[in-house]
């Protein structure tokens, strides 16, 4: 603590000294250093000596896409890491991190499981934080009592999802879009799957996925190359070499349009319209990205925002985006609007999408988007947090190290015809999934009364299928 106070007093001086030289010249992305440890952990490193702090992010292939017939397994495994390790209990672990001001994080997503650490770089504090982190990573105890509690917590989490129309819509969207593909697997599991998962399941999942060859380590902060190498060796030697996780199976697109309505007592209907999109490293990635910037990805300058919100006042937020994964991720168009306007909002959005596919962006719009992407590039890596997220992403998907350097150039070279061509090949409104969660009665009553608009033939009602099919 004394040392921490001392550090605080010194910060003025530190800051003045380090602010003399800025690491990045204008428009240049940070230079990423890359190597591999003895047992096969890939390391991505950007030194950032300006602030006395260090960020680590260790990412494994191992999210809900690896849950198999046990949805929620990756999430529970991740949640249990800091509940007991090398004889320390959850309280002791929390105290060890927090007594030196370190911030521990762990979590799992669709295809990643990760552990993070943020610590200040005073020697004693950094050592204590790191020692604790390595125990959590390499020697989790998976205590029985904590597991029982964690499962109960997970069930309450599922209840929270059920009172939120946005969460309900999101789950239904992934389930219906991906069917029996692992990407359909609900990250937080189901009541049945959570109840059935055992500690042995967690231990097996941990043993298989939390291994050096299946992970990448991102390091950003006040550390030099030599120490970063030593640090990376320490991290990787605290877990076995193991094997890389198997490839995720290819994704099959929907073959016909599908609409899912779920009744919910909310004043708004939540709408998700979409289909299978693209993947990381996809040959159309940049072209689709640029096109979507014009269509639904750039806030107020996007066509969706102009037509749905600005011109008609139908929704507070309306957007579209591609969410590329290792395999084909989704393309999603989303909005929320009061129940009696939902048909109109869907029709406007669909009409805009059809129009965009037919005519493409104008040259002026394309130019504007290119300028926004290029001119805004320095904003994306302005902080250590930004940089660590980017290099973890680049490492995880095995993208080229100069990915950030070449991004703007690549975008600038794309022509209008290329955008039109890629969108026509990849985006198919006639085979899209539409999920609507809201109050159907309110909608029918009011639209019937108003009788204000033509029906949208593509939006046919079908009753919701219950969430019984176990995904994955």
Partner 1 sequence: MKITKEAPQKRSAPQTEKILTLMKKIFNRYLLLSLFITLTSPLSAKDTQTDSAKEPANSQPASEKTLSQTNNDLTAPHSQISEKTLDNGLKILVKKDNRAPVVVLQLWYRVGTSYEHEGITGLSHALEHMMFKGTKNHASGEFEKILSVNGARNNAFTSQDYTAYYEVIAKDRLEVAMELEADRMRNLILDEKEFKKEIEVVKEERRWRTDDRPTSLTREQFNAVAFLNSPYRAPVIGWMVDLDTMKVGDLRKWYEKWYAPNNATLVVVGDVEPDAVFALVEKYFARIKTSDIPAPKLRTEVEQKGPRSIVVKAPAKLPYLRMGYKTPGLINAKEKWEPYALEVLANILDGGSSARFAKKLVRDKEIAASAGASYDGFGRLPNLFVLSGTPTKSKTIEDLKKAMLEEIELLKTEKVSEEELKRVKAQVVASEVYQRDSIENIASVLGSLESVGLGYQLIDEYVPEILKVTPEQIQKVAQKYLIEDHLTVARLQPLPLDKKAATSEEGE
Q: Which of 278, 305, 254 is nearest to 435 (CA)?
A: 254
Residue with smaller CB distance to partner 1, 122 or 241: 122
**Separation of alpha carbons 16 and 38, rounded Å:** 39
Give whichever of 332 and 358 is closer to partner 1, judged by the CB atom.
332
Contact present, 337 and 292 (Cβ < 8 Å) = no
Q: How far is the CB of 465 from partner 1 (least distance, A)?
A: 9
Least gap, CB of 234 to partner 1 (angstroms):
22
Beta bridge mates, 47: 221
With respect to partner 1, which residue has the nearer C-beta, 155 or 241? 155
Sign of CA pseudo-dihedral 350, 355, 356, 357: positive
The answer to whether the beta carbons of residues 304 and 321 sit under 8 Å apart is: no
Nearest to 284 by CA among 326, 324, 333, 330: 324
Of 211 and 332, which CB lies nearer to partner 1 in the complex structure? 332
Query: Least distance in Å: CB of 38 to partner 1?
Result: 27
Closest separation in Å from C-beta 408 to partner 1: 10
Nearest distance, CB of residue 60 and partner 1, angstroms: 11
3-state secondary structure of 313: coil
> Which residues lie closer than 8 Å to 304 by C-beta, 6 or more apart?
295, 296, 318, 319, 320, 333, 349, 352
Extended beta strands in 49-125, E state: 53-61, 84-85, 88-89, 103-108, 112-120
- Residue 75 or 348: the one with the smaller Cβ distance to partner 1 is 75
Q: How far is CA 305 from the centre of its chain?
A: 23
Choice between 18 and 237, CB closer to partner 1:
18
Residue with tokens 């001392």: 6
Least distance in angstroms from the C-beta of 49 to partner 1? 10
For residues 118 and 426, which CB has a smaller minimum distance to partner 1 in the complex?
Answer: 118
Q: Which is nearer to partner 1, 39 or 380 (CB)?
A: 380
Q: Minimum Å distance from CB 53 to partner 1?
A: 6
- Whether 190 and 72 have beta carbons less than 8 Å apart is answered as yes
Closest approach, Cβ 282 to partner 1, in A, equals: 12
Q: Which is nearer to partner 1, 119 or 349 (CB)?
A: 119
Q: Residue 273: CB partners within 8 Å, gap ≥ 6?
A: 332, 333, 334, 346, 349, 350, 432, 433, 434, 435
CA distance 450 to 338: 14
Shortest distance, CB of residue 80 to partner 1, whole angstroms?
8
d(CA 296, CA 200): 45
CB 78 within 8 A of CB 142: no
| Residue 242 tokens, joined | 């193991």
């Amino acid at each position: 603590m004394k040392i921490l106070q001392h550090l605080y007093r010194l910060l003025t001086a530190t800051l003045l000294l380090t602010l003399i030289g800025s690491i990045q010249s204008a428009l240049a992305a940070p230079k990423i250093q890359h190597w591999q440890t003895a047992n096969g952990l890939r390391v991505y490193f950007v030194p950032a000596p300006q602030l006395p702090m260090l960020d680590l992010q260790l990412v494994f292939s191992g999210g809900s896409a690896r849950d198999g017939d046990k949805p929620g397994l990756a999430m529970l495994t991740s949640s249990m890491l800091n509940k007991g390790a090398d004889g320390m209990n959850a309280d002791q672990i929390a105290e060890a991190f927090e007594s030196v001001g370190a911030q521990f994080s762990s979590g799992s997503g669709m295809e990643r499981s990760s552990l993070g650490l943020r610590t200040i770089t005073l020697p004693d504090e950094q050592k204590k934080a790191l020692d604790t982190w390595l125990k959590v990573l390499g020697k989790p105890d998976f205590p029985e009592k904590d597991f029982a509690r964690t499962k109960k917590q997970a069930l309450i989490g599922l209840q929270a999802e059920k009172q939120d129309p946005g969460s309900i819509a999101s789950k239904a969207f992934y389930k219906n879009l991906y069917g029996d593909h692992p990407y359909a697997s609900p990250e937080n599991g189901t009541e049945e799957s959570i109840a059935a998962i055992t500690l042995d399941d967690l231990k097996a999942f941990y043993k298989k996925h939390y291994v050096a060859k299946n992970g990448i380590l991102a390091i950003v902060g006040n550390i030099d190359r030599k120490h970063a190498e030593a640090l990376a060796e320490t991290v990787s030697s605290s877990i076995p070499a193991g094997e890389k996780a198997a490839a995720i199976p290819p994704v099959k697109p929907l073959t016909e349009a599908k609409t899912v309505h779920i009744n919910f007592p909310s004043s708004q209907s939540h709408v998700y319209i979409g289909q299978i999109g693209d993947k990381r490293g996809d040959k159309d990635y940049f072209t689709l990205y640029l096109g979507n910037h014009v269509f639904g990805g750039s806030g107020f300058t996007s066509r969706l925002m102009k037509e749905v919100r600005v011109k008609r006042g139908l929704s507070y937020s309306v957007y579209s985006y591609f969410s590329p994964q290792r395999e084909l991720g989704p393309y999603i168009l989303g909005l929320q609007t009061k129940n009696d306007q939902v048909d109109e909002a869907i029709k406007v959005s669909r009409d805009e999408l059809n129009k965009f596919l037919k005519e493409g962006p104008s040259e002026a719009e394309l130019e504007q988007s290119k300028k926004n992407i290029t001119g805004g590039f320095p904003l994306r890596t302005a902080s250590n947090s930004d940089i660590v997220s980017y290099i973890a992403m680049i490492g995880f998907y095995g993208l080229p190290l100069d990915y950030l350097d070449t991004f703007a150039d690549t975008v600038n070279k794309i022509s209008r015809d290329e955008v039109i061509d890629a969108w026509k090949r990849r985006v198919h409104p006639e085979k899209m999934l539409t999920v609507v969660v809201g109050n159907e009665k309110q909608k029918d009553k009011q639209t019937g009364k108003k009788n204000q608009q033509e029906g949208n033939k593509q939006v046919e009602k079908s009753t919701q299928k219950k969430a019984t099919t176990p995904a994955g």
